[in-house]
Amino acid sequence: MCIGNQLKKESDFPFRLMNKITSVSLLIGSLSTVTLFAEPNQNRNYPKSQKRTDLSLVSHNSQTSSSFKNLDHRKDPNLEFAFKESIQYFERKPKDNKVRFGEEEFTNGEILQLFANLQSIIHNTPVDQIKSEIEKQFRMIELRPSADSPMITGYYEVRIRGKNKQEGDFQYPALTPPISNPRFLENPKLFHREKWNQKSNWEKYSKPIVFLRLTDLHLAQLEGSAIVEMENGERFRINYAEDNGQNYISPSVHLYGICPSLKPFHLSNCIQSNPKEVTEAILKNPRYIFFHKEPILGAEMNEHQLGPKGSGGIRLIANRSVAMDIRIPLGLPVLLSFQTNKETVNNRLVFVHDRGNAITGVGRLDYFLGSGDGVEEEANNLLTKGKVVLLLPRKEKTIR
């Protein structure tokens, strides 16, 4: 669905929706101001068959920006790094590259100028003039389904432990993409999970990067990446590389009435008391994700919350990167607003840095929360409606 490495997030939406539907609120018009540029106060994906809404339903609304008063102009390293990732993505493109949104087309130069103008506003404009400057320099396009507000969810990077050999509970390998050989009678890349659970198959067709507990492998494949910590202190990432093309089936559909909580990161607790049931439920999912290993430096763990690579080789930045529908061009800036019972976000500047095989529909957005403490709970609790506004260059009107 996109070029380059990407997180391939799956979906536990059915049980998440059931657990949260009573708490979802649509309070867009009365959101209190959270800064557009400052650090947030605190620190998923759906079947491929989910209906997509036609982009002709996107509304062009000049009144999409809420109040920009009382903005905090503290320099946010995450924002600066997110800008850098988007700019470098377009700089890697050929000079004659065109960016298309619906029936509109923009040159690479026009997009790069958009970022230069937006950075200039952030760094040089007095607070009370930011609203008028953004409205003056950019087209602000609200993305929403025809009769509703877009769904906002969250995702994060898992932290797990691993071992170099099968030992105890660490029996499940995170595998590299299978090798290709025209002499093979079958294409191993298309094997269902049940075949990859057989040691004879992964020894023949692939290589283990690390051995994990089953629930941790499930989380890593669900979220598309993980930070792995070894007993010797080594830390590295396993990033999405390929998948077997099968549809994801959530273990939750087999575990109603068995596990007290069906949230993915709570399965490690449930497997202790119901090992057979949880193991079978996870292994019934035919979809399988392969990984590649990425070394990480110690400073990278903390500095600026740099995440794994998303789509197009773009590095994900906590609280500044989002995944959106493939028809929303990668790299572009978006203003995001939503409210939960713990947080209010109003016109937060984020960037389209990722895709998901199930992130489909006008305005549908998955918000990357990083890998810090508590992000598992926050990501799994983030399910709400919101407001999503795409920023595009203003085209000069041709006078005839």
Q: 158-248+285-295: which CATH number, 3.20.20.150, 3.30.420.40, 2.40.240.50, 1.10.10.10?
A: 2.40.240.50
pLDDT, tens only, 175-232: 999 988 888 888 899 999 999 999 999 999 999 999 999 999 999 998 888 999 999 9
DSSP string, 137-175: HEEEEEE--TTSPPEEEEE--EEEEEBSS-BTTB-EEEE
Residues forming CATH 2.40.40.10 domain(s) in the chain: 74-154+309-393
Alpha carbons 205 and 290: distance in angstroms, whole number? 12
Stretch 259-276: mean pLDDT: 85
Q: What is the pLDDT of residue 79?
A: 92
Residues forming CATH 2.40.240.50 domain(s) in the chain: 158-248+285-295
Q: What is the pLDDT of residue 224?
A: 86
pLDDT, tens only, 278-314: 999 999 999 999 999 998 875 554 544 678 888 998 9
The class level of CATH for 74-154+309-393 reads mainly beta
Alpha carbons 266 and 142: distance in angstroms, whole number? 36
Exposed e or buried b per residue across 178-194, where buried means at least 16 C-beta atoms within 10 angstroms of its C-beta: beeeeeeeeebbebebe
* CB distance 347 to 36 below 8 Å: yes
Surface-to-core class of residue 101, CB atoms within 10 Å of its CB (0-12 exposed, 13-18 middle, 19+ buried): middle
Alpha carbons 255 and 70: distance in angstroms, whole number? 48
Q: How many CB atoms lie within 10 A of CB 322?
A: 26
pTM of the model: 0.74
